[in-house]
Structure 1
């Protein structure tokens, strides 16, 4: 068939003004092309590019209790100084510059009043002494009585959240800071010198509403909460971080730019990346376009979104995240929580910060909002206790290391034995051809935004190995046996193999349209298997999650190679039906980021795999120390808890029993594509290049030098339409007989 086209600081409520940025001679280099929005912003405000050489590199979240120059925060006065620095950095790099003076309110006019039962609603027009004159309209809902009542602020589209709060005895202010009612733009002509982004303007507008509400005798100004969902969750965090009169905040599924840091919410997580947030027409106005310079260089940002949470300390803050929220990431939100928790502990109130997990996706319901109001009750002393701390990603490596662990093999041990040690002690297994029983339910596939069948691409839900659910996508009508690609996803904790915020089609839809079947599944700890990862080391303390991932790939190959064998010994309801013809001699792995790491291990240990493609999937381990901008191997043995065994060599990484060169030599002479972008934050490009050069002989000595393809594009780490096309071209050149419509 024809190949489809690809898409190709000052006062608290004056906030802070932005400062200048130092510019180096080569600091104008952008890894993402400037957009019209960026070009217009830069021309209007004369913004100079960052001097990336002068900016510190921090793979993890910059410590909140440490000044940008590295000095520790040790006293309360120093913490106040650090807070001012954090506000300045947030405005300078993320939010833009708000007005330095607060406009005076000329009038508060009640436009309408409605009494219903034991409550009253007032529409109030707030008129400001500005040039030109600006007014905004808010709604105040209050229970009957004199009060004072604790206060909840929310945005227009969350008015029914406000009705629940009203029923719980709260005075509610609904302010115009939502897409359906955004009156913050009225202030743009008043302050043309400000480059404040939309969400900062909305948060600032909420604070202007707060100025009025605090004059009401029925409002308890000591107890004021602000809450919102999604983009409203982002602005709620911003408002509370910048205005200390908000004494509690609930940030619901706020995602990147809210509770999720830019460092962890990126292309390698199939999340809202800096590039996406500054390009997309909807999100491009939310934050400062200055961010676009940091596409692929997120580790150069002087702070990150955890600073919003930290600035709220010691006030109450609840971060709410759903397990499979397409606009949020559980891992990233938890990292932000853990980093901000240090500020809360320093302030002496760790109980005032919590993260709440919800089942499902981006949606909310009445019970979820009631839970948010429970948090307000706790924050305001209306409830005696708050929720316990529940973490699903934090890995206690010290506790793990105190358990009995197998000694590392000798340096001259067989390479497979050395690799096996790195993957942990694998439990017993039996090969199985798989079946249909236990395949993903339709509602789960819909929640995870899995592609369904259409006129061209078919889908068979399968189950294989240790009860792993997966999906086989294939071109409908294929007669000849099809080559199969096993797709291994990156750190996409929320949606697993499907991902979100893609440019162009997903790979499981793209390849079948070009004659290639795709078998894919969520890896342990991701997507539909998120909680399976959370409890993994309680169940398998001597194994590793990476080892389990490799085992699942082996089981997927079992499915593809054994599916055609007689299955009379299995009950009819478990037999695989409607499978397309499969060419078991053409099974190839393709993985991106985490998936690339898994793919190299799996291909090295399973000769049935005909070839492997690794996109931004590795950097040599023996040189990946804490001194590297990658963050070192701690990413694997602690952050993502993939290989705890590696932590035993912390500080002496050069002594590791195996490295990626060993894997490559086992892959040889089979076809292997390595795409290692020069600006991959998870890799040292020079180390990667040296590794590839050191293993070329493994192919050349077997007369297959051309089977190793290495490419180092001048790009950052991503796997979008361009990279899928690159893989397909390599695949077709490697196996020219690929079936095509």
Structure 2
């Protein structure tokens, strides 16, 4: 690592600029200019050359383009032609005690080596084979937690097919070898570029359909009543099958995650969710990894995959605190795909359904609801579309918000107004009487009663660290991590997390050894972490925030919550499950990453109890962050995430925003500040960040401009810990 520390001197103020040039892997070094670059998902009704889709013929061409792009980017190309079935063998058949017929069928195909695989059928118990007609069909992968879907479906009168879709690293004793069939068929087509196990297994689902819908199955299945369902990786596989085979009438994809239901643009490292480098190599083309940190260059995303299914029936079923399927990313993809459904006059044929809890388990109620979707799509029973009500969590209506504001509320302070007055105006009004009022009785909510699963909070905890549950403010549930051995009062860090909607302060993908709060505890700090408004345990609080506080802002609430955390740490205005460790209340550092970095700068600039601020990838200047920028512009803050609605008043007039980050840095200039920015952070204008820091001109400010992408992992943790040691 090369460490350059040039000094700029301006008006007597020395600014220390530390430029870290980090060695990145060969994959990450491929940061060449992209042909396509957009912070938002690629529009499904727009060709890659920018021309619009205006009629159905255009849509057919665009659909073909999306398919090509998906294969080229994610899974590789399928064989040009599907092999015919050469032989069919019913291996065995028996009737269970409940009357259901279980039939195992071996299908042999016209490939160079006559490759074959088995499927298992469940035939409904209330009919005989000679009476089977107009039957619905449901395919699924025989993973043990999905068998309940099959049993419930056959009880409803469905023919069920288990096909060889078991993932490469799963094993099912009752279905031996199902996890390896994809490799057999991959070898049969050496000229095909397909290298995704999930893609190949979706192709195997289609080969199963060749038999099931053909004359030789003996099953009069209604070809308009063909469904497929899967959970997690099998949800991905199910979406692939429905997208590339129009014979699938309906699909239910549960918690499919990236890239199928959640676009990588919104599951990057700054979300602690699954990035392009986290998935097993068997799932995608090796070339996908070159988009790490530059996901905005992906030419096709999950909204495009789902649009391929239109106008057929598609249900996304995800959890509020799903650690693989973050709600914000799923909603963006869902709404992006729905455009195609609207274009084809079938907006009701796609739905997003939330459930409480985490990624697992699949409950009886979930099974009932999932199968109801197929019954509705197939016009069976009395299921209604209204049973699948759309209730989005992140669809902020800025125009509706503006209509609730008085005309005086929308007038910013004048240029000569104090900075804190400008910031208070932008963040909105703290509700009258909230300060000093105990609006919620404080209590320690047990881990098992919170949204984020306890195992995910505990899994990275080292043996030499304690975790203590605390509550403060509006009964905000937090945790204090600290070393078991603490011979001295511990300096305090308040950890402010990034855009991790699923788990808030709790890290998920990308952890190297342990998380930031536990690593800091190992280094001798007491670390307070909590989920910010609209994230993790408090996800639903964000969804209804502006209904309750139309004159405030989410960012304002986040800054207010930091103040409440400071009240707890310095004045004892809160409770703890057990005795607190000795704390050094004269040393309180705010540490934030991404969103948390923005919160830290706003909260720390005006509070003297904060003795230092570290912001990692926390900002790009407001006034130069226009819609034309590949960052996504300030629209991210006033519309996408609904953080600062008043920024929307300056859409396309960003230069008139009342203040910017250089002013916040100046306001905090009496305390040590660390600003860490990545040169290849797709969410910032790197040059503008550097110019902003130069304008701040503070001798107490350390600026690190790293040759890296936006991430906060062990190497960044080390930078932070070294800086913390330097300011003690």
Structure 1 distance, partners of 2:667, 2:31, is 43
Structure 2 distance, partners of 1:584, 1:609, is 10
Does 1:438 find its partner at 2:443?
yes
Aligned residue among 91, 106, 117 for 1:125: 106
With a CA cutoff of 8 Å and minimum separation of 6, indicate the structure with the bigger relative contact order: 2
| Secondary structure class of the residue paired with 1:313 | coil
Aligned residue among 148, 151, 156 for 1:163: 151
Task: Check conservation: 2:466, 2:484, Cα contact below 8 A.
Answer: yes
Q: Which runs of 4+ in 1 moved over 6 A?
A: 432-436
Structure 2 distance, partners of 1:266, 1:51, is 16
Does 1:725 find its partner at 2:725?
no
Does 1:177 find its partner at 2:165?
yes
Structure 2 distance, partners of 1:376, 1:161, is 12
2:503 — aligned with what?
Answer: 495
Q: CA deviation at 1:451?
A: 2.6
Query: Per the alignment, do residues 434 and 54 of structure 1 end up closer, same or farther by CA in structure 2, a change over 3 Å counting?
Result: closer
Q: CA deviation at 1:440?
A: 3.2
Q: CA deviation at 1:438?
A: 2.1
Q: CA deviation at 1:448?
A: 6.5
Query: Per the alignment, do residues 118 and 31 of structure 1 end up closer, same or farther by CA in structure 2, a change over 3 Å counting?
Result: farther
Task: Check conservation: 1:152, 1:224, Cα contact below 8 A.
Answer: yes
Q: CA deviation at 1:160?
A: 3.0
Q: Which runs of 5+ in 2 are unaligned?
A: 1-21, 172-177
Q: For 1:396-432, what per-residue CA distance to the aligned partner results, in whole angstroms no more than 9, with x for missing partners?
A: 0111112224121111111110011111111233358
Single out whichever of 246-255 and 495-504 deviates more from structure 2. 495-504
TM-score, length-normalised on structure 1? 0.88
1:714 — aligned with what?
Answer: 707
Q: Which runs of 5+ in 1 are unaligned?
A: 1-29, 39-48, 278-282, 700-704, 736-741
Task: Check conservation: 2:358, 2:453, Cα contact below 8 A.
Answer: no
| Secondary structure class of the residue paired with 2:457 | coil
Task: Check conservation: 1:431, 1:465, Cα contact below 8 A.
Answer: no
Q: For 1:271-307, what per-residue CA distance to the aligned partner results, in whole angstroms no more than 9, with x for missing partners?
A: 0001222xxxxx1110111111111111011111111
Task: Check conservation: 2:271, 2:501, Cα contact below 8 A.
Answer: yes
Query: Per the alignment, do residues 430 and 121 of structure 1 end up closer, same or farther by CA in structure 2, a change over 3 Å counting?
Result: same
Q: CA deviation at 1:442?
A: 2.3
1:213 — aligned with what?
Answer: 212
1:189 — aligned with what?
Answer: 187
Does 1:639 find its partner at 2:640?
yes
2:366 — aligned with what?
Answer: 368
Aligned residue among 317, 322, 327 for 1:320: 317
1:57 — aligned with what?
Answer: 37
Does 1:484 find its partner at 2:476?
no
1:411 — aligned with what?
Answer: 415
Aligned residue among 515, 521, 529 for 2:530: 521
2:681 — aligned with what?
Answer: 680
Query: Per the alignment, do residues 172 and 32 of structure 1 end up closer, same or farther by CA in structure 2, a change over 3 Å counting?
Result: farther
2:19 — aligned with what?
Answer: none
Structure 1 distance, partners of 2:321, 2:383, is 31
Structure 2 distance, partners of 1:241, 1:134, is 25
Aligned residue pair count? 673
Structure 2 distance, partners of 1:607, 1:576, is 28
Aligned residue among 512, 525, 546 for 2:555: 546
Structure 2 distance, partners of 1:140, 1:219, is 13
Structure 2 distance, partners of 1:671, 1:214, is 70
Query: Per the alignment, do residues 51 and 688 of structure 1 end up closer, same or farther by CA in structure 2, a change over 3 Å counting?
Result: closer
Q: CA deviation at 1:53?
A: 2.9
Query: Per the alignment, do residues 132 and 233 of structure 1 end up closer, same or farther by CA in structure 2, a change over 3 Å counting?
Result: same
Single out whichever of 627-636 and 52-61 deviates more from structure 2. 52-61
Task: Check conservation: 2:620, 2:689, Cα contact below 8 A.
Answer: yes
Query: Per the alignment, do residues 50 and 484 of structure 1 end up closer, same or farther by CA in structure 2, a change over 3 Å counting?
Result: closer
1:45 — aligned with what?
Answer: none
Task: Check conservation: 2:469, 2:577, Cα contact below 8 A.
Answer: no
Does 1:463 find its partner at 2:471?
yes
Structure 2 distance, partners of 1:404, 1:257, is 39
Q: For 1:674-715, what per-residue CA distance to the aligned partner results, in whole angstroms no more than 9, with x for missing partners?
A: 11000111100000000000111xx3xxxxx1x211011110
| Secondary structure class of the residue paired with 1:74 | coil
TM-score, length-normalised on structure 2? 0.90
Q: CA deviation at 1:529?
A: 0.3
1:451 — aligned with what?
Answer: 458
